């Protein structure tokens, strides 16, 4: 039986000039999962931990950010090298969000428009689908 990894992830977003931009992590080239790719901030749900608890803990660990307000987008599976079940959350952030966080895991963070996201070659298809769902929700 194939092992599953359960993770909670956050998609920070901002709106500028009526366009939505999402903040993604550029993963290190030595990462166990999705090396050298863009992906979401967040991580593994520990034994006995609720997805929301893991989300808040992981965002503090990865961005040194105290996450208080967020919404649930849904549960998805990833087409990464291992089976990952993602609990996906999103949160609207300030225009200068990237200047108010410290990237503690991965190489850096970057904001993407919907068009930039669709063209990004270092973003796996299942993550693009999740982002399309979010862009659709935010544009409705």
State the pLDDT at residue 2: 54
pLDDT over 50 (residue 1): no
pLDDT over 80 (residue 90): yes
State the pLDDT at residue 10: 98
Distant-in-sequence contacts of 121-128, Cβ < 8 A, 24+ apart: 122/26, 122/36, 122/37, 122/38, 123/24, 123/37, 123/38, 123/39, 124/34, 124/37, 124/39, 124/78, 124/79, 124/80, 125/79, 126/76, 126/77, 126/78, 126/79, 126/80, 127/38, 127/39, 127/40, 127/78
**pTM (two decimals):** 0.93
For the stretch 30-88, pLDDT in tens is: 877 777 899 999 999 999 999 999 999 999 999 999 999 999 999 999 877 678 899 99
pLDDT over 70 (residue 124): yes
State the pLDDT at residue 80: 72
State the pLDDT at residue 81: 64
Compare 1 and 81 and report the one with higher pLDDT. 81
Topology of the domain comprising 4-139: Nucleoside Triphosphate Pyrophosphohydrolase (3.90.79)
């Amino acid at each position: 039986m194939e092992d599953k990894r359960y993770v909670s992830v956050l998609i920070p977003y901002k709106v500028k000039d009526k366009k939505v931009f999402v903040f993604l992590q550029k993963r290190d080239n030595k990462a166990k999962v999705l090396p050298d790719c863009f992906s979401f901030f967040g991580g593994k749900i520990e034994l006995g931990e609720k997805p929301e608890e893991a989300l808040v803990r992981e965002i503090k660990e990865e961005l040194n950010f105290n996450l208080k307000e967020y919404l649930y987008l849904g549960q998805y599976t990833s087409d990464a090298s291992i089976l990952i079940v993602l609990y996906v959350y999103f949160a609207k952030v300030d225009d200068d969000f990237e200047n108010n966080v410290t990237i503690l895991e991965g190489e850096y963070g970057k904001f993407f428009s919907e068009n930039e996201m669709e063209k990004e070659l270092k973003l796996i298809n299942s993550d693009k689908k999740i982002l399309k769902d979010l862009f659709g929700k935010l544009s409705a």
